[in-house]
Structure 1
């Protein structure tokens, strides 16, 4: 039965029970499992404090802000001590400022609890900030997986590069090595790249992200 699975789920729209108070929403899963009343009360008090919901135990969902509803939803998912937490675009309905604030809170919380979590998100910033490992899916197919740093810096395809943020890709030609630098032809302009592991001569696509671009003065050929 679903109530016996060791999985916590945080819905996109929070899915709080409108007829239950904050405390009873948090306690819902434990009540289904017939946990002792004393244990439920202790766990609810602990989560109210951890999620910064002190003083809100007797309020109803319609009396809460979006951020407070999100915290209640996370507390409810944590109440049964799950082995894994699933987040289904759980921050997408919040405004940008609150979303940024809660991302940081979730990152700290999951790190403190050492709890495995899986996030479904279309937001590359959220994925890069929260994930230890990213899986890029499109139309039900896995395009790539890896650490945020590796996928951002060296995506295996154009689709993956663009999924993780603004990306400019140009056809280019690696000409070879010259004085310890890789010589690259980019639309007729030669660029020198100080690469630790130079690629073989041939045709490639050069990836440029705004976060790593800067304008410098210098003589031709260009250096990047």
Structure 2
């Protein structure tokens, strides 16, 4: 029994190391390698909490008004002068039942790794967010922004055709969304895939937040 247990432990350790190595290599290989910022373009931001990433966009521009699709009336605090919208995607159980990372159980992690889980969109509204090491601005062209909008719209069920869930605070909310969360299709991979679909430079495979954020330079004052 001890020999079997040792082999299982060794195999698990080897699998974890292989996953981490693949993530490091995959995140270092660029998609849209020739992309460059557009100084006169639209400013979006990439946000991280160290584990999870989100795409932050102006709430209203001449190209897109997000308010009909993600209305502030869905929030507990709808009357603030919101200026930006942060969109991310993740696993339903983790989003709804783990308000802090300390609440994430090993059984939930094992289930996600083994069989995956349902997806959920997270929409957070912000008032004039300031650039920082965890909130990094990118200037993209109008055409790139149009493709980014199209990608997000395609994944967001319309109001009246989706279920809404309370967020972590009074300025955010969750919505049911299509797609399946797996060890290969993580929340951070969703961020990279969405950016790549818009033509923005990012890594090929980015299961961890660092693999996404490495492609967005820190603001000068934060370096």
Q: Structure 1-normalised TM-score? A: 0.21
Structure ID, larger Rg: 1
Higher relative contact order structure (alpha carbons within 8 Å, sequence separation ≥ 6): 2
Q: Structure 2-normalised TM-score? A: 0.21
